[in-house]
Structures are given as C-alpha cells and as structure tokens.
C-alpha cells in the first residue's frame, strides 16, 4: 500500500492520459512530453505495481482488466489534482477565497454594497462575510481577527490596530420645500433656532456642530437625537428638522424628500480603515482595500 502511494504521480498521469486519449501520442500531447517519455512512464508504473496494464493489439495499446480497475481509482486522484491546480490558479487571480469586512451602518446602507457587488462580479466562488456595526465593536472584531478589514469612525480605541484616516465634509439636509433651501450655503446664523436632528451628544459631528453654533452666537435647537445618519435623513424627509449628513449616507430615490446644501464652517467626519497589526492581509483583502481607498477618495 505504502509502496503504491509512493509511486511517482507523473506515472499515474501518463497512465490516465493514455487511457483517456486511447494512444501514447494523445497522452504525449495532453501532458506536453514526448512519446518515448510516456512509454517510459508506463513501463515504470508496470514495474512498480508488478501489473501488466496494457496489451498491444493491431498497433494500439488496450487496457487490461487490471488497468480498468486501477483507472477508476486514478481518475479520482488526477481529477482531484486538477481541481487543486485550478484552485491555485483562482487564488492567484483572486477568484476564490473569503472577503471579511465590517463597516459602520452609514457605509453599509448603500455605498459598500454597491462596491462589493462590483468587486465580486467576476469572482463567482468568492465567499463574503460583511457586517455592519458601531465603530467600537468593529475595532474589537478586527483586533480579535474576526474580520480582516474594518471601516469605522474615529477615535481609535483598540491596541494592535493599523489605521488609515479619511476625512469627509458633511452637508446640511433640509426637508423638500423648506424656505431655507433658497440659500446656496447654510450657516449657524441662518439655522439659528431651527429644529435640528443630531446623532447623540458624544458623536463628533454633533460636538463640532455645537461648537460652530456656540462660536457664532447662534442657538442649536435639538429637536431629536438618533443613532444613524439614515434615521436622521428619514426624519428630515418627514419634516422634523434639519441635519448634517455624510455624503455616502445619502438616500438616493426618485423622490428623495430632502435637499442638500453646503454648511459653513465645514463640519468634518473622520473615518478610518482599520486592520490588525502583524497579521498579513490576504491578496483578496489587498485588492478590495485598493478599491475602497479609491472610492473613499472620490467621496
């Protein structure tokens, strides 16, 4: 048993190809070696197994009954190796594997699904693990190795993470038909006392907005607090008030129900891509990171 397992795999390939093609010539063409090379491999296999595998009849090699039995076993082996070779080729071309990504809810609502769909279009065997969560939990997941790539808001809370910072200008969203939409640019003075929807007292956009209103002497009238940009936009659409929103969190429909205007002074949102320090990124992950970086830069 061990002796047979130790046989040169090339002998099995020559044996398999000879039966599949029906001739030594066909086997030589299939494997890209000479006809004498095929004949030599077949002779080695017969010598190693102590089996007569072919008989020559009218100039052709005819498999013996023993060869027919061996062929059925070798077929599984050869086809399995072919699958391994194809898997290696697919991995080299980033067609198979697993993409592990966690991101904030704002990015997961539309921006990233569109990016993922484009990325996997030519990778039918790619497996995807994609989760949306709050920033602190995303950092925990990446640090623990549960996800390869995370996209979250600052600040950096976990040790052992590498991060790349991206800063985005927020825009002011007003209900469709709001009289304030006549202004090309909105300021704290224009929005003085106007109902506002914010993302909680500790969120960086809320803190920076409050500072801008305080500096200008205007009143930030908080009508509602919520946890997601999408929730805030839906409230704007219902006429509850105005809000500041990241550009990638927009709700794109035929009837958006809101209008966007620049806000001055600029209120910025800081995002970062996080990966685990000392843990290599897969080829697929590197490829997707390049795509994310390009699209975030466009935003």
Spell out the domain ranges in the chain: 2-92, 96-158+280-298, 171-266
pLDDT for 232: 95
CATH of 96-158+280-298, one of 3.40.190.10, 3.40.640.10, 3.10.20.30, 3.40.50.150: 3.40.190.10
Q: What is the pLDDT of residues 204-249, one digit of tens each?
A: 999 999 999 999 999 999 999 999 999 999 999 999 999 999 988 8
Q: Write the class of the CATH domain 2-92.
A: mainly alpha
In angstroms, the CA 139 to CA 14 distance is: 53
To the question of pTM greater than 0.75 for the whole model, the response is no
Q: Write the class of the CATH domain 171-266.
A: alpha beta
pLDDT for 116: 92
The reply to whether 96-158+280-298 and 171-266 are identical in fold is yes
């Amino acid at each position: 048993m061990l002796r047979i397992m130790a046989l040169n795999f090339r002998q099995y390939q020559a044996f398999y190809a000879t039966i599949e093609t029906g001739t030594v010539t066909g086997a030589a063409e299939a494997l890209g070696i000479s006809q004498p090379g095929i004949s030599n491999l077949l002779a080695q296999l017969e010598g190693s197994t102590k089996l007569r595998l072919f008989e020559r009849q009218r100039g052709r090699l005819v498999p013996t009954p023993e060869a027919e039995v061996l062929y059925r076993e070798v077929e599984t082996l050869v086809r399995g190796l072919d699958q391994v070779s194809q898997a290696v080729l697919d991995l080299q071309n980033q067609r198979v594997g697993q993409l592990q990504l966690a991101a904030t809810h704002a990015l997961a609502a539309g921006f990233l699904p569109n990016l993922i769909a484009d990325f996997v279009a030519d990778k039918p065997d790619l497996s995807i693990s994609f989760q949306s969560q709050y920033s602190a939990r995303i950092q925990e997941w990446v640090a623990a190795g549960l996800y390869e790539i995370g996209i979250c808001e600052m600040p950096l809370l976990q040790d052992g993470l590498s991060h790349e910072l991206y800063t985005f200008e927020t825009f002011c969203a007003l209900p469709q038909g709001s009289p304030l939409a006549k202004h090309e640019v909105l300021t704290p003075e224009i929005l003085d006392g106007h109902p506002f929807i914010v993302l909680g007292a500790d969120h960086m956009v809320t803190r920076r907005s409050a500072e801008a209103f305080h500096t200008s002497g205007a009143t930030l009238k908080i009508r509602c607090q919520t946890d997601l940009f999408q929730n805030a936009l839906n409230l704007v659409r219902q006429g509850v008030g105005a809000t500041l929103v990241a550009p990638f969190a927009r709700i794109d429909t035929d009837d958006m129900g809101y209008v966007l205007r620049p806000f001055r002074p600029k209120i910025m949102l800081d995002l970062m891509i996080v990966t685990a320090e000392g843990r290599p990124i897969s080829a697929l992950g590197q490829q997707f990171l390049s795509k994310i970086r390009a699209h975030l830069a466009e935003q």
